[in-house]
Structure 1
């Protein structure tokens, strides 16, 4: 079968290959999924470039250890050589045995890849544990199914489970024109919290306002600190999420109210933040890290199922849906990567059709 793989990590994506690989062998409790579509996320580039491994190598719990693990789940981190792709959707064609796996035969499912090196959704087929395959209802099409897990789950969990933003309060978010940022705006409309959406360019303001954003700040023409002070009457914001990092994170910390919370879930910016420690001391603000896979791994099976059901409903009603910008064949991966990194829209691989 055809798949996108890497043999080594590289910053310039030069090690990505469109190549023939062995069909995955099914183990008990697994299903074989013929992939139809798969999303391309910023986190996928972190895997290609080895950034997660670099971060974990610097952690004290990996001091002098030959293997690198993702905590708190204790799972081995996917490293090269490996098949790429985090999530997607397809049709279950075979079962490795087990009641759940057999019940999924012939069903359309959203899948999230395991951490095994040969498990990736940028491939014609995927072998995955049946517990990581979620049956898609008819009101969720292939495009939404291919983007079911990463952004919708992160948007919901950050706002409703981690920060639990109360009705009427402000939530400040960066990268607000991203797929996840748009979901946060729609969740704010549904659950009654107000959004301060931060973007780089002024030409994004009108669109996000039409979407329902309460306030949009463009950093190419506005000062973040003074605008937040103006919007909040000098009170600051109690809740913020950031996927850019770098100097912008430091600026957000200055915008927090006393005991305000900033949750960092991405590093789209590459510069290192100079954290304003004294300001944090005086306001007793806090900074937290969030990684979707590790957060889910610390929750019970029933809690994960509860969240998945809620997210499935919110995708069907549109609050957590994503508009696909363009779809590409696997072999056209260079153009797909260029589009995904351009900010012009969400890119998908269309692997096959029903």
Structure 2
């Protein structure tokens, strides 16, 4: 038996319960891991509340796709991993099938990456989703190159911070957008070339001024909704507006026609495009591991909670107070 977080109905953080469950043995292509730390993501909030890109199919339901720990057992056909290996999981599976909010969890071996030497469990639970999202969207899919400019909203999120670091390492110029001035200095320290406070500044005007009127080759948008009209105005000719989140919760228009039909590329992107394709994941893991070893990349952890405080951890996750990742630690 092991303790795992379950929820028996949709709702707020209070629907989550820590319960004793049977962990079992890994099946073909699966691995059982001892979970030492869990990275919390907005996807879990959306899944718990019934607003994720896939619905909850059964109750009680589990949560979580990002964790760090050690391999305990491997199933039939699994090669490349053995008991004792320090690993992290990447979000490459459905929460309807597996969940890592637990002391022990069974996950697909295809969702495991080796934890680089020197990276502890908290760091191992904090780096993969942010950097896979940023690298996959901007580099693997978008093709970002040195000299390009990228505009990033929700810049103080774990993905926003990772995107700042990825852009800087590629040689691109990252411009961060944040709602209030409270996080401006922190974003500059994290590598933003400029920070625009959307609550008091005109984002389009500031971006166009910063780029000499050219605009940005990339806009990496976590918010979506009606705001894409303003963001689309700053996309350079032939540039791309990548929507990787929908924090606004509002309908998202396609603004190309009302802007006079510019050469605007606009597409959605999810980290699953990277995590579920072996070759893309291999390249992404190599890129992120290289950045961690050089010091260009690092986990940015705002706060940690104990597994028993998962409800409070989710309340904090849903607040606007944090800068970076929220991680839950698991005592054994």
TM-score normalised by length of structure 2: 0.90
Are 2:86 and 1:108 aligned? yes
Alignment-derived partner of residue 17 in structure 1? 17
Pick from 240, 244, 261: which aligns with 2:240?
261
Alignment-derived partner of residue 203 in structure 1? 182
Q: Distance in 1 between matches of 2:83 and 2:296?
A: 30
Are 2:221 and 1:236 aligned? no
Are 2:162 and 1:153 aligned? no
Structure 1 residues 116 and 266: alpha-carbon distance in aligned structure 2, compared to 1, 3 A threshold: closer
Give CA-to-partner distance per residue, 1:111-156, whole Å, 9 cap, x none.
2464363521101111122232222232221112112421111111
Alignment-derived partner of residue 222 in structure 1? 201
Alignment-derived partner of residue 296 in structure 2? 319
Counterpart secondary structure, 1:143:
helix
Deviation at 1:89, TM superposition (A): 0.8
Aligned length: 328
Are 2:9 and 1:8 aligned? yes
Q: Is the 8 A contact 1:110 1:148 kept in 2?
A: no
Q: Distance in 2 between matches of 1:203 and 1:38?
A: 28
Q: Distance in 2 between matches of 1:335 and 1:228?
A: 38
Give CA-to-partner distance per residue, 1:311-344, whole Å, 9 cap, x none.
2222333333222222212221121112222232
Pick from 122, 126, 139: which aligns with 2:118?
139
Counterpart secondary structure, 2:206:
helix
Q: Distance in 2 between matches of 1:273 and 1:112?
A: 28
Superposition pairs of residues 1-354 of structure 1, within 5 angstroms: 1-10=2-11, 12-53=12-53, 80-98=59-77, 100=79, 103-112=81-90, 114-115=93-94, 117=96, 119-297=98-276, 299=277, 301-342=278-319, 343-345=321-323, 346-352=325-331
Higher helix share: 1
Structure 1 residues 175 and 157: alpha-carbon distance in aligned structure 2, compared to 1, 3 A threshold: same
Give CA-to-partner distance per residue, 1:32-62, whole Å, 9 cap, x none.
1111000111111111112125xx6xxxxxx
Provide the alpha-carbon RMSD of the alignment: 2.2
Q: Is the 8 A contact 2:66 2:125 kept in 1?
A: yes
Q: Distance in 1 between matches of 2:114 and 2:216?
A: 39
Which moved further from structure 2: 222-231 or 79-88?
A: 79-88
Deviation at 1:97, TM superposition (A): 3.5
Name stretches of at least 5 consecutive residues in structure 1 with no aligned partner: 57-67, 69-76
Q: Distance in 2 between matches of 1:124 and 1:78?
A: 23
Give CA-to-partner distance per residue, 1:180-211, whole Å, 9 cap, x none.
21222222222211111111111222222222
Give CA-to-partner distance per residue, 1:11-31, whole Å, 9 cap, x none.
x34432222222233213322
Structure 1 residues 148 and 187: alpha-carbon distance in aligned structure 2, compared to 1, 3 A threshold: closer
Q: Distance in 2 between matches of 1:217 and 1:320?
A: 23
Deviation at 1:80, TM superposition (A): 4.3
Name stretches of at least 5 consecutive residues in structure 2 with no aligned partner: none
TM-score normalised by length of structure 1: 0.85
